[in-house]
A and B are shown apart, each in its own frame.
Chain A
Amino acid sequence: MKFQIKRLLSQILIFFSANLGALGFKTGFCYPFFYCNSCPAATSACPLRAIENSVYRGSFKWRLLLFPIVILGFFGVTSGRAVCGWACPIGLLQRGTGKIARKLKKYPLIKKIGNHKIEPYLRYVKYVTLIGLVILTTALIGFMFTDICPVGILTGTIPTLILYPSKFVPNPFFWIAFVIFILFLILIFTVERGWCRYFCPVGAILAPFNKISFLHVSLAPREIFEKECLHCNACLNACPMGIDVINMNRDPECILCGKCINVCPKNLIKFERG
């Protein structure tokens, strides 16, 4: 339990660090997670905005394309998708809504949404979002994901409207983005970590790094595991990403939250370096 409190503290600390722009601290880095540079308190740039900027309407600025990718790559190689579980403010939000999503699972309809047979395929939608909406539509027709991004509404638009209530009016993208934001809310309140699982383009960049990251979650050696595992499914039930923990091997969906490690009664799951 102490371990999860440490993770919560890390998420809270990074949330405040991401908002030091409120004190005038602005950098030229990209966040290694999903957060909007339109937030009045943002310190850094959204990595997706930098990628879009690099390919907008057929232009190609390799530096702006490479910069967010190597920043995400650095964190990806060292710790895989741990930033999703330990740093991302949207992950922190979903940590809160995930508890409600779990409680709502007792309703058959909600349970069906998270366990539908197409659910494993939905996880590929985030790669389609990254390649389709962040790169292709931006490059070909100038339609950018960040113009309709629900995280932008949450962290940029809403705080701006609260801080400056009579200064702004909706622009042509607002209502489309607002509808998507409502769907985003429904998703995260019904499927635990629904945004990370299915749609997050930043997660799509980080996910493949789980295959080679220094830090990862691993199971005890096969012979020990097969002998000692109680098949209690506690790890499976605890995993917020819905991973089949018993059969996983450097799963791209793992956010290294450590919940499976905490609940395993036989301590057969652990963090491993190398």
Chain B
Amino acid sequence: MNKMIVLQISALIIVSGSLGGLLVFTDVYQEVHSGIVSVLCLSCLKLEPKTKTDFTFETAYGEPHPDFVLDNLTKGVVFLHYSEDACPGCDIMYPVIQNLFNITFGKEDMVYKVFSFEDLDVAYFYTNIDHTSEEMENSFPIYDKDHISGLPMFAIITLGYNKDIIRPYYTTVYGTLGLDSDKDRISLLTELMQESIDIYNQNREGYNPDQR
């Protein structure tokens, strides 16, 4: 019986100490809160939002567009690609994006590339939301157009004319785009890119990033 009590007390000290240590000395609580509880893995939900490709001027929660987007809009369309660590939906979409833009990247947490698509520069930002900068993390809810808070998420930002001002104009799509094949996914994203480039070309002359 004494052996059992020693074992029980030792086990309790180990688990309590480990739990206390994890909470005090690591950011695991925040990691679980922001990475699992607050942001949905759409694969776990086994659902994804119906794909709505409509463009809008209004950010999801009325917040201003981040500076890195406004600045890159002077060069061309901005494409934001959000992903997370354990996300089969994100894994399905990597090759789609890589084929679409003919780019390659490995296990980087953030990627920024500017390349030409249909004769226009596209600023491509890839970010793993579990390991990213504060600026990129904060941009995630801004472009969560349908208030899903789920991953993977893709935002295409172009320029539109609204109330006498040329302003950022964007659309956001989620998950595997509600489509079954990579071919269909690439086709949908290509159409969206073409549409955003057309709108961009119509409005680029009047864009002033300081006019926010």
Q: Across the interface, do B26 and A63 meet the contact criterion of CB distance under 8 Å?
A: yes
Residue of B11, B42, B46, B49 touching A212 (CB-CB under 8 A): B11
A273 to chain B, nearest CB (A): 10
Interchain CA distance A37-B37 in the complex, whole Å: 6
Interface size on B, residues (CB 8 A): 47
A interface, how many residues as a size bin? 35 or more
A-B contact count (CB 8 A): 158
**Known contacts A50-B32, A144-B43, A157-B45, A171 near B37 by CB under 8 Å:** no
* A220 contacts B by Cβ under 8 Å: no
Interchain CA distance A18-B154 in the complex, whole Å: 31
* B24 contacts A by Cβ under 8 Å: no
Q: Across the interface, do A157 and B47 meet the contact criterion of CB distance under 8 Å?
A: yes
A165 to chain B, nearest CB (A): 11
Q: Interface segment, B58-66, B69-77, B83-91, B195-203? A: B83-91
Q: Interface segment, B12-20, B116-124, B135-143, B164-172? A: B12-20
Interchain CA distance A177-B36 in the complex, whole Å: 20
Q: Across the interface, do A147 and B43 meet the contact criterion of CB distance under 8 Å?
A: yes
* B175 contacts A by Cβ under 8 Å: yes
Interchain CA distance A27-B5 in the complex, whole Å: 33
> Which A-chain residue is minimally distant from B17 (CB atoms)?
A70
> Which B-chain residue is minimally distant from A45 (CB atoms)?
B36
Q: Across the interface, do B43 and A66 meet the contact criterion of CB distance under 8 Å?
A: no
- Please give, as numbers and ranges, the residues of chain B lying within 8 Å of A76 by CB-CB distance: 15
**Known contacts A157-B45, A169-B50, A56 near B86 by CB under 8 Å:** yes
Residue of A57, A147, A171 touching B48 (CB-CB under 8 A): A171
Residue of A53, A142, A177 touching B88 (CB-CB under 8 A): A142
A65 to chain B, nearest CB (A): 10
Provide 21 A-B residue pairs closer than 8 Å at the C-beta atoms, listed in order of the A residue.
A28-B28, A28-B29, A28-B31, A28-B37, A49-B41, A59-B85, A66-B18, A67-B19, A67-B28, A67-B32, A74-B12, A74-B15, A74-B16, A153-B46, A167-B49, A170-B47, A171-B175, A174-B46, A177-B46, A274-B1, A274-B8
Residue of B4, B38, B44, B180 touching A147 (CB-CB under 8 A): B44
B55 to chain A, nearest CB (A): 19
Q: Across the interface, do B12 and A173 meet the contact criterion of CB distance under 8 Å?
A: no
* A123 contacts B by Cβ under 8 Å: no
Q: Across the interface, do B22 and A144 meet the contact criterion of CB distance under 8 Å?
A: no
* B188 contacts A by Cβ under 8 Å: no
A162 to chain B, nearest CB (A): 12
Q: Across the interface, do B15 and A77 meet the contact criterion of CB distance under 8 Å?
A: yes
> Which A-chain residue is minimally distant from B180 (CB atoms)?
A172
* B40 contacts A by Cβ under 8 Å: yes
- Please give, as numbers and ranges, the residues of chain A lying within 8 Å of B36 by CB-CB distance: 37, 45-46, 49-50, 53
* A29 contacts B by Cβ under 8 Å: yes
- Please give, as numbers and ranges, the residues of chain B lying within 8 Å of A42 by CB-CB distance: 37
Q: Across the interface, do B91 and A172 meet the contact criterion of CB distance under 8 Å?
A: no
Interchain CA distance A61-B86 in the complex, whole Å: 11
